[in-house]
Amino acid sequence: MFRPRFDLSEYQHPESANYYSQWNGCTDLSPSFFENSVSYFAEEKKLYIQVSPVYEFEAMFDLYEDLEYLIPEKYQREPTEQEVESWRGGLQTLREKFGRTFCVNPPDPLYPCDASEQRINAFSGTTIVVPLGEGILNFCYADFSSAFERCETAYRQLTQVADTPPAIHSAEEGVIHIFEQYEELFPALSEVFYSSIYTAAFPPQFARATEKALEYYQQHLSLLQAELLELLEFCLDKNFRPEVLGQLYPSERYSLWCRIKGLSSSHTRQETFQPDSYDPHGTTMPFGADLDKLDTSEEVILTPEQKAFCQEYSLPEYELQMHYKIPCFISSSYTCSNLRDMLYLEFSKILEAGLEFQKCKRCRRYFIVKGNYHGAYCDRIAEGEHRTCQQLAAQETYLEKLKDNDGKNPLSIYQKYYKRYFARVQAGSLKREKFKLWQYEAVRKRDDCLAGNLTLDELSEWLERSMPNRSPNNGVIF
């Protein structure tokens, strides 16, 4: 083979080479492990991720038997109902962690009480429904650093175990070894994987538990977070450099970002196209149909021409009848084998769908602009809070308004009487129903005053006489 010789002492590496060097792999870890199937429903603007269950014991059972390997002890006996319920409860808790934003549909158990209920990864075999844009946001704002710190002790214990590479005689033995490594390592790093929906669905493959593998995975997640946040700002934030980027579409901004980085703007997506009757993408043919209105009970009688067609093409008549009764939908799915592919698949769909993102003025995190809402605050529940940024900001604005005009304003006057009359409700001297009627009218008067249709004195006078004083004997007012 011809190998030209050059003096490389003054060679300058392109920016793209420096960029890609950050993603150099690690011999002890590969980011690509599962091959998950992802479908995109354009009408719903949702991604459906079918998480592969291949590295769970029920998928390995036949392999163990074929190789005459000893079945692991914990899988040899039948689990008790209490154990199964405990497994289900633990998995349900993990799935509910993401339930406010994502929908996680678990597979049906093979049997009412079966060892297959015991999962290494709570998301194996599930279908995860991701509203477009939410998967990237969930990943970008996940606190991986804290999770790595909490998992460090358990992982370091694994690194201290003598690790002699196993002698592999066949590909099947290699699969068993990978499964056993996964079964050992996933629990040790489960907090890291469960920090975001995508790291749970796309865990990496650890060949060995080494310090280098852990450092590489931590760097890999950190680089991905920084890259995606930069893309959100550069491509999708209208307030970022509007004097330069304001006239460009998000896709054009992405092309420019890639040129600045010295990167290719193309991204390969492994797509599978097929027409079938099981996966409608919407309610309009040829992509889908309203299944509630689909009548498959009506008998189809073939015409002579149709029967002749079947005979000409050696097609069973029932096959043609089924095609007339049950429609075939155009569907497509993508195969993603690692976290980066999944993130870029979602990002490319965001560019295609034209989603808008905005940065919340309270938590400083991006959120998706929905409908005509262009408010300054997101509906995300803030860290350590029980209310959304919208709710907290509204309360803060309200409290600020109470300070206007040295506290003499419609809001503060209304608040004063509200507290006075609500105290009577709590004391039992005022019925709640009467208080609610008063509150409805009082809010109308307050808003009239805010609009300038009522003076402060008129509002105060109405509030004072709107509720009779309690009777001397402290009886309940009706």
Place of tokens 């006489």: 465
Place of tokens 């280098």: 212
List pLDDT tens digits, range 136-159. Answer: 999 999 999 999 999 988 998 888
pLDDT given for residue 173 in this prediction: 83
pLDDT given for residue 365 in this prediction: 87
Place of tokens 């690790």: 163
Give the Cβ contact number of residue 382 at 10 Å.
17
Calculate the CA 375 to chain-centre distance.
22
Rounded to whole angstroms, the maximal C-alpha distance in the chain is: 109
pLDDT band, residue 395 (cuts 50/70/90): low
> Percent of the chain scored above 70 by pLDDT?
83
Helix (H) or strand (E) holding 105: strand 103-105
Higher per-residue pLDDT: 444 or 5 = 444
Give the Cβ contact number of residue 171 at 10 Å.
7
List the one residue out of 346, 345, 305, 306 whose CA is nearest residue 323: 306
Q: Provide mean pLDDT across the span 35-59.
A: 90
Q: How far apart are CA 457 and CA 62, in angstroms?
A: 84
Quick one: how many helices (H) and strands (E) in the chain? 18, 10
pLDDT band, residue 276 (cuts 50/70/90): confident
**Per-domain boundaries in the chain:** 15-261, 294-326, 401-465
List pLDDT tens digits, range 74-130. Answer: 777 777 888 888 888 888 888 788 888 899 887 765 554 454 567 889 899 889 999
Whether the predicted pLDDT of 69 surpasses 50? yes
Q: Provide mean pLDDT across the span 24-44.
A: 85
Q: If you average pLDDT over each of 183-187, 227-231, 323-327, which comes out highest?
A: 227-231
Burial class, 65, CB count within 10 angstroms (exposed 0-12 / middle 13-18 / buried 19+): exposed
pLDDT given for residue 384 in this prediction: 59
Q: What is the pTM for the complete model shown?
A: 0.75
pLDDT given for residue 398 in this prediction: 61
pLDDT given for residue 15 in this prediction: 53
DSSP label of 119: -
Worst-scoring range by mean pLDDT, 232-241, 339-348, 412-421? 412-421
CA 131 vs CA 40, 104, 335: distances in Å = 10, 12, 18
Q: How far apart are CA 359 and CA 363, in angstroms?
A: 8
pLDDT given for residue 310 in this prediction: 92
DSSP 351-365: HHHT--EEE-TTT--
pLDDT band, residue 1 (cuts 50/70/90): very low
Gyration radius (Cα) of the chain, Å: 31
pLDDT band, residue 347 (cuts 50/70/90): very high
Residue type, 33: F
Q: How far apart are CA 49 and CA 132, in angstroms?
A: 12
pLDDT given for residue 472 in this prediction: 46
Peptide bond into 107 cis (omega under 30): no
List the one residue out of 390, 408, 381, 412 whose CA is nearest residue 399: 412
pLDDT given for residue 283 in this prediction: 77
Give the Cβ contact number of residue 346 at 10 Å.
24
Higher per-residue pLDDT: 400 or 328 = 328
Contacts of 469 (CB under 8 A, 6+ apart): none
> Where do the H-state alpha helices sit in 160-210?
171-188, 190-193, 197-201
List the one residue out of 212, 177, 152 whose CA is nearest residue 27: 212
Q: Provide mean pLDDT across the span 315-330.
A: 88
**Cβ atoms of 197 and 138 closer than 8 Å:** yes
DSSP 422-448: HHHHHHTSB-HHHHHHHHHHHHHHHHH
Count of residues making up the chain: 478
Provide the token pair at 162.
């003598």
Q: How far apart are CA 65 and CA 403, in angstroms?
A: 76
Please tell me whether residue 20 adopts helix, strand or coil conformation.
Answer: helix
List pLDDT tens digits, range 151-203. Answer: 988 998 888 765 666 777 778 888 888 888 898 899 999 999 999 999 999 99
List pLDDT tens digits, range 431-478. Answer: 888 888 898 898 888 888 877 788 888 888 898 888 776 554 555 444
Report the mean per-residue pLDDT for the chain.
83
